[in-house]
Chains A and B, each alone.
Chain A
Amino acid sequence: MSTREPDPRPDRGAYRPEGIDDSFSAPVATAEPPAEKPASGPADGQPSLPALGLRGTLRWTWRQLTSMRVALMLLMLLAVAAVPGSVLPQRPQDPAAVLRYLQDNPTAGEWLDRLGFFDVYSSVWFSAIYILLFVSLVGCILPRTGAHLRAVRNRPPRTPRRFDRFPAQATVVTTASPDEVTDAVARHLRGRFAWLPTFRVDTGTQETRSSGGPRVERTVAAERGYLRETGNLLFHLSLLGLLVAVATGQLLHYRGQAIITEGRGFANAVVDYDTFENGSLFSPSSLVPFSMTLDGFEAEFATDALAFAQSRDFTAFVTVRDPDGTEHVETIKVNHPLQAGNAKIYLQGNGYAPGITVHDASGEVAFSGRVPFLPEDTMYTSDGVVKVPDVAPGLEQIGLVGTLLPTAEVTEAGARSVFPEALDPLLVLDVYRGDLGLDEGLPQNVYTLDTDDLTASVDEEGERVKVLVAPGETVELPDGLGTITLDEELPRFVALDLRHDPALGWILVFALGALAGLTISLFTPRRRVWVRTWSEDGAAGDARPGTTSTGGTARRTVVQIAGLARGDDAGLQGEVDAVRHAVPGAEQSDGPAGTSHDSAGPHPQDRATGRGAGKADR
């Protein structure tokens, strides 16, 4: 993961101007030994691989792991490894689909299962990749953080002697003195805010030997973009924090699901949930003992022709009783979970739970209760099962499997639902008798009935008998099994999902930290600017540096500017040009000049004093 930036153009026969022989360009010598496959590539240097010894081998392994190339490889592996999870059904998301897949592909399925392909994101190989990636990241980021903390206090590198090989340059002649130029340029580079200077600026004086003899030059050395590396480190450290936060959340979280019908409620206790799942460090005592009642549920569906029967709004009206006894009325909507007892309650599903009463052949009530029918399509054609084990002694147990049609349309082809709301409900049931297998003590899915050992009720032609029940009706079951009654009211149920993850806040903080770090590191330019300025005699034509003043010619100041950026930087020349414009008293050919009337004054030193020209163009 590390961005060890080598020379920006390693393959283009890069020159290395003076002043960039450090992190800007230095090929951070990872000193990579030959790759594992000795055949691949010329083994440049380090032929002493066999003599590394244990410590050497460990160090070599560590260097490899934290090298950019391996990090890159791990990144690509991670991308590839993530793909099967979108192609194959996954246990955590859809266990039923995994079972179906295993039934359809017994041989391949078994092997895939053994290799963890049905739970890719918890599999050994997927975990191995991202853990290695994060180890590589730590190994790269920690040393870089240390180096950056030291580098942040560094001064800009001193002004190089020659500018002619830098990618961005400018030369300008001014009437202001070198000291004034230096001050103005430094002020311009530091920018408006003293507490957060754009550039870190050093000014100095150098004595150089030009062709004509020694000369005193004023210099400016400036560097900007320390934040770039800061952002980069912030990004990577935030990713690390994100991983730790997610893992912590996994250990401490819990999630419970409950199906509640209108008018009923549940208490926040592990036993009250239909399913409950928690992290290994979760303790049941941490559940806040509130309770909740579903007062009502409203669903809205589109009735226009364009989007007929599409859902438009779901609202659950609930009353929450806090542990201290206070009650308050709340609503839960999709996208608007309810906050209760430091957990969030989500509205995950809804449907109908008809109240069904079954009398057995002896006339006794064998079953009475609400049975949730799970909607299977947009018209809420809902499937459900009624298991009636508690018949009078000597009678066969009854199992009813069927469909609830909220707005039934019965034709010769069969019955179907034509609208999701309960406008004209009808219950269509198959009837089975025999041993339901409930007495064996094995847990069963309440929504399915294993009909293998049961006898179906058929008519004279061998067709299944369909029992149709409308609300308020009582209908005879076939084969004299008894009667079934459907309540007049058709209550709805809601599927609620209650979840608590204490790490959510931290996950958000680290995610936003990563975003901020990434943005800073990608968009902060890292640039260096140097200025060298000296004064010399004479007009431009016959100027001979070093000659002392010949009578009649004005002294003039030459300003040379050079810029260097890390990597490609389209704005570098613009930065240099801005510095050029900040030079006071310069003869500008374009853009706003620092001062007006440049070359007219016979005594430029006198008139330019104290001009705040450096700010002119920013």
Chain B
Amino acid sequence: MTLADLSVDLVWAAATALTVGLVAFAFDLARLAGRSPARATAVPAAVTSAESTEATTGSSPTPYGPDSTERAGSEGAPVSRKAAGIGISTTWLGTILLLAAIVTRGVAAGRAPWANMYEFALVGTFFALAVFLGVSLRRDVRYLGAFVTGLSVLFLVLAQNSFYVVATGVQPALQSYWLVIHVGVAVAATGIFTVAFATSAVQLLRDSRDGGSAFLGRRAWRWLDSTPRPAVLEALSFRINAVAFVLWTFTLIGGAIWAEDAWGRYWGWDPKEVWSFVVWIVYAAYLHARTTRGWSGRRAAYFVLVGYACVLFNFTGVNILFDGLHSYSGLPGQE
């Protein structure tokens, strides 16, 4: 078995561990949802998948006031969070396996392991997991676990099945220490944006449920009551986004410096540059929206969703759809 093959197996192992984590986190959310005796009829596994909400259509939607959480929380006995603990442990395991996969991949290719779309997906997923675990060391963000591990598994499987290219050297244009800096920071920013996106998504769901949304008022969404208040989620999302935004700014600057050396211009509106610019503008708009009267809270969170959609498109769509200087996916049909 070569190192490159070992790397591939390690990615599968990581994806497996993360899937276990996903199930554990989902189970935890289900338990939290069913902790109140009056609501004990909830089907635990139904919580994480959207389609299973149909199973509980019969129950009448309950509007939730902002204070219902605290009251609901004080009613029942403390819920065992063993499942969440298992989730955190397996997420650590999966993250370490993924790190090992990335390192072996880099050794096999003889360079920094983030030079094509496949490797970018691996490293970006790693950063998302690392940020989630890092934050979870300091505060309880286990409610995000299902989302972060779910997205991670999705990215890893997608990378293995659709983006995979063999580990090898890179063309002269990529032979620069800027590959390590520019792409490394870009991939870190992408991973961090992922965690912020999950936070903002939970914020919006929770906010809608609190606001009396009929759909989100259903039983299957009761786990939302165990998440922090929308304002707390908003603050967390902002802090994560702020870090990622600074890194993204650096990505643009580092990219411009590299482009000046490699292509003879610091900015040339290449499709990747256009979309990196769009991402930057959308997140800049988000930061401004937060401090604009009438745009903070929910509306600002929508910017995070739009921004993350642009991040994903910049990472996948631009590589595949457009022909540009940044077409380094290494997939067939690309230079």
Contact = CB atoms under 8 A, between A and B. Distances in A.
Interface stretch (A42-50, A79-87, A205-213, A531-539): A79-87
A306 B168 contact: yes
Interface of B: 166-169, 171-173, 175-176, 178, 231, 234-235, 238-239, 242, 245-246, 249-250, 253, 256-258, 260-271, 274-275, 277-278, 281-282, 284-285, 287-289, 291-297, 310, 318, 322, 324, 335
Contacts of B175: 313, 334-335
B67 to A, nearest CB: 13
Contacts of B173: 334-335
Interface string A266-287: 0000000000000000000000
Contact of B278 (A72, A83, A348): A83
A68 interface: yes
Contacts of A76: 281-282, 285
Interface residues of A, number: 64
Given A79-B281, A310-B168, A504-B266, 13 more contacts: A9-B231, A10-B294, A10-B296, A71-B288, A79-B278, A82-B281, A85-B269, A93-B270, A304-B168, A306-B167, A346-B263, A499-B265, A514-B249
Top 10 closest pairs, chain A to chain B, by CB: A568-B235, A334-B172, A86-B274, A346-B264, A307-B168, A86-B271, A79-B281, A75-B285, A522-B242, A335-B176
27 contacts: A5-B291, A68-B288, A69-B294, A69-B295, A72-B285, A75-B288, A76-B282, A76-B285, A79-B278, A79-B281, A79-B282, A120-B269, A255-B264, A302-B168, A306-B168, A311-B171, A334-B175, A335-B172, A344-B264, A346-B263, A499-B264, A511-B256, A522-B242, A522-B287, A568-B231, A570-B235, A570-B239
B289 to A, nearest CB: 6
Contact of A333 (B171, B172, B239): B172
Nearest to A377: B335
Contacts of B318: 86
A121 B324 CA distance: 16
Given A86-B275, A348-B264, A312 B292 contact: no
A68 B287 CA distance: 11
A306 B253 contact: no
Contacts of B295: 69, 72
A302 B288 contact: no
Which of A302, A334, A337 has the most C-beta atoms of chain B within 10 angstroms of its own C-beta?
A334
A78 interface: yes
Interface in A1-59: 1, 3-6, 9-12, 27
A275 B166 CA distance: 39
Main secondary structure of the interface of B (DSSP, over half): helix
Given A79-B281, A312-B171, A519-B246, A6 B291 contact: yes
A561 B303 CA distance: 38
Interface string A591-614: 000000000000000000000000
A85 B297 contact: no
B238 A568 contact: yes
Interface string A320-337: 000000000000011111
B253 A515 contact: yes
A92 B257 CA distance: 20
Given A75-B288, A499-B264, A312 B172 contact: yes
Contact of A79 (B168, B285, B292): B285
A523 interface: yes
A583 interface: no
Given A4-B291, A378-B335, A307 B261 contact: no
A513 to B, nearest CB: 11
Interface in A383-441: none
Which of A71, A90, A255, A522 has the most C-beta atoms of chain B within 10 angstroms of its own C-beta?
A522
Nearest to A307: B168
A508 interface: yes
Interface of A: 1, 3-6, 9-12, 27, 68-69, 71-72, 75-76, 78-79, 82-83, 85-87, 90, 92-93, 120-121, 246, 255, 302, 304, 306-307, 310-314, 333-337, 344, 346, 348, 378, 497, 499, 504, 507-508, 511-512, 514-515, 518-519, 522-523, 567-568, 570
Contacts of A121: 269
Contact of A82 (B263, B267, B278): B278
A518 B249 contact: yes
Contacts of B256: 507, 511
Contacts of B265: 499
Contacts of A1: 288
A567 B277 CA distance: 28
A83 B264 contact: no
A82 B275 CA distance: 8
Nearest to A310: B171
Contacts of A313: 172, 175
Contacts of B274: 82-83, 85-86
A410 to B, nearest CB: 26
A508 B252 CA distance: 12
Nearest to B172: A334
A154 B172 CA distance: 56
A571 to B, nearest CB: 10
Which of A335, A337, A507 has the most C-beta atoms of chain B within 10 angstroms of its own C-beta?
A335
Contacts of A78: 281
Contacts of B278: 79, 82-83
Nearest to B4: A306
Contacts of B239: 570
Nearest to A5: B291
Contacts of A346: 263-264
Contacts of B261: 335-337
Nearest to A78: B281
Contact of A72 (B267, B289, B297, B322): B289
A408 to B, nearest CB: 22
Contacts of A10: 293-294, 296
A92 B292 contact: no
B92 to A, nearest CB: 24
A523 B242 CA distance: 8
A11 B246 contact: no
Contacts of A93: 268-270
A115 to B, nearest CB: 17
A90 B288 contact: no
A518 B246 contact: yes
Given A71-B288, A72-B288, A82 B169 contact: no
Nearest to B253: A511
Contacts of B335: 378
A304 B269 CA distance: 35
Contacts of B293: 6, 10, 27, 68
Which of B231, B277, B324 has the most C-beta atoms of chain A within 10 angstroms of its own C-beta?
B277
A508 B257 contact: yes
A307 B285 contact: no
A336 B258 CA distance: 10
Given A82-B281, A86-B274, A507 B266 contact: yes
Nearest to B173: A334
Contacts of A336: 261
Contacts of B262: 334-335
A587 to B, nearest CB: 28
A598 B111 CA distance: 61
A313 B173 CA distance: 9
B322 A86 contact: yes
A82 B270 contact: no
Which of A3, A11, A568 has the most C-beta atoms of chain B within 10 angstroms of its own C-beta?
A568
Contacts of B235: 568, 570
